[in-house]
Structure 1
Amino acid sequence: MPISRSRLSLVSLTAVALIVAVIVAVGLARGSEPDAAQPSTPASAAPSASVSAAASPTVPPAAEPPAGMPVIAYAKGPRGLPADPDPESVVPVTEALRPTTRIALYDAPGGRARAWLPPRISGLPVVAPIVARENGWAAVLVPAANRRIGWVPEAGWRAEPLRDQLLVNLAARRLTWLRDGAEQGRWSVAIGADRSPTPLGRTFVLGRTGTSGAVYAGLDALVLGSVPDEPEKLAASLQGAHTGIHAWSNSSAFGRDVSNGCVRTPAAVQRKLLAQVDPGTPVVVTP
């Protein structure tokens, strides 16, 4: 608060003039100091620039996608997209993006468009979990690529809620199902062998597909967004495949590292997952 004091002694006209001159000079000198208090407009009437910037962050514009940009396909993942910054996070992801038309994925907010995310891949509707938001952009997990994210402007689409989460712990060879953060079940499963390990990191349920053979107990498989890390080590028929969660009729496999990268479950578990788990459900595979 500015404080002003004045005291005049009526001695003589000359003395008064001298005192006034001194007071004015001192006041001017104090007003030039950096710390001098000055009358000011209340903060509520004149917000600072930093407060205004925080309230209205700048949204980087989306550059026009280049001509001929590739479209993500089942056996053809995108290139040039950034790594998932937290691939083994088990913090629940609670929303997803379901595109109604193809959407450009960028390598950063306001960055370069790298690939089109289509609304369907091999007939499966795409529901991509949203794992981050920044400056008016959202980052989603990318299908057909392991531990990758793509950025999209937060316009032209709506988020939809996610309730479930599947956790695969490779060391324990265990699958856990959570709903709204509460455990619904945990089971011993089979995981990938040393030559064909189950890919680590965050991915999601892309959809479901039929199986052929009694060993699958006649049940559909849940197709994940992840693909083999080293496809060249697999049979040619599996090199363009995705990781899956599926039933296995031979119970001796559970608790072992024996698959081609998929997670094998008891038939009763697979029935439960097929009945309860929707496309877009996040899946986290940890060591």
Structure 2
Amino acid sequence: MRHLGAFRWRRAGLLVGVPLMVVTLLVTALMLTRAPATRVAAPGPVGPQGGLQIAPDGDGPGTGPVPSAAPAPARLPVVDYGPAPTGFPPDPDTMDVTPLTEGLRPARRIAAYDAPGGLPLAFLDPTVNGVDLTVPIAQRRTGWAAVLLPSANRRLAWVPPGGWTVTPLRNQIVIERRPHRLTWFRDGEPRRTWPVSLGRPGQETPLGRSFVLGRSTPSENVYAGVDVLALGSVPDDPDAVPAGLRGAHIGIHTWHHDGELGRQTTNGCIRLTASGQRLLLAEVPPGSPVVVVDELPTPPPSV
């Protein structure tokens, strides 16, 4: 398996142990678990898929015919927990904190392109290591949808119509690096704010838009027996983190003490109180967007 939040997986599903001193800063040796079902109110008409809406051809902004999708060779890589394939375009609005309100769920293996009608570069599966995949939709264009790419920072993947469903996203997490603050929003309104520990110099928490990929149950006592939220983002400089964290993802997790909150002490992960982490686990489902900025122009109210 591969790393989440600094989680590393093996294909056989076994956990990989790492020294305690390495565990201290990114989420290590973790395995994704299926999140409990979260009931989300779907705005507008409800489709036949248990509250999910099938994305119709030609849906979304743009005029004219839907660009055709070139056949995707079977040899293309599948996006998983390892480094994402290269060639995907940058997210032009990566620092935008406007909530993304739609999530895309592959119903089968679908091809991901570098542009509408462009070059197929990889496949997206309905699951990543057994965890259902939901990726936020960042743009729509004449039937195609651009989604935040898992296992990559600040990159989009374009998918053609068909083979996926849409689910509403009500929650958002915004992390500010300068004030070391995490704010949970629901339906655009701030619900709670916490002080957090973030990445140390040279291993800073990556800026930009990402999302909650899934959750993992750690075995190490340093996580205080609380699950981790694994994000789609990875360290900006994989070679800067300890060797045991190569291939890791960024995670949101708690710690066995709160003495480092408000400081830069991690390998890039976001660390908050145990009570705050439990609330996020209960309220923020996979697919929810996460944005890391230096600082919001207007601080959120204390809630």
Q: TM-score, normalised by structure 1?
A: 0.79
Q: Is 1:144 the equivalent of 2:151?
A: yes
1:114 corresponds to: 121
User: Which structure is higher in RCO with an 8 Å CA cutoff and minimum separation 6?
Assistant: 2
1:135 corresponds to: 142
Unmatched segments (≥5 aa) in structure 1 = 1-53
Bigger helix share: 1
Q: 1:268 to 1:55 in 2, by over 3 A?
A: closer
Q: 1:270 to 1:55 in 2, by over 3 A?
A: closer
1:206 corresponds to: 213
| C-alpha separation in 1, matches of 2:85 and 2:274 | 34
- What displacement does 1:56 show? 5.1
Which among 237, 256, 265 is matched to residue 258 of structure 1? 265
| C-alpha separation in 1, matches of 2:63 and 2:269 | 45
Q: Is 1:169 the equivalent of 2:176?
A: yes
1:75 corresponds to: 82
- What displacement does 1:215 show? 2.0
| C-alpha separation in 2, matches of 1:116 and 1:138 | 14
CA RMSD of aligned residues (A): 1.3
Q: TM-score, normalised by structure 2?
A: 0.75
Q: Is the 8 A contact 2:197 2:270 kept in 1?
A: yes
Q: Is 1:99 the equivalent of 2:106?
A: yes
Q: Is the 8 A contact 2:63 2:142 kept in 1?
A: no
1:280 corresponds to: 287
1:61 corresponds to: 68
1:221 corresponds to: 228
- 1:97-144 Cα distance to aligned partner (Å, 9 max, x none): 111211111000100001111111122211000010012211000000
Q: How many pairs does the alignment contain?
A: 234
Instruction: Tell me the secondary structure at the aligned position of residue 110 of structure 1.
Output: coil
| C-alpha separation in 2, matches of 1:73 and 1:162 | 22
Q: Is the 8 A contact 2:149 2:232 kept in 1?
A: yes
| C-alpha separation in 1, matches of 2:234 and 2:259 | 25
- 1:11-50 Cα distance to aligned partner (Å, 9 max, x none): xxxxxxxxxxxxxxxxxxxxxxxxxxxxxxxxxxxxxxxx
2:39 corresponds to: none
- What displacement does 1:253 show? 0.8
Q: 2:117 corresponds to which letter in structure 1?
A: G
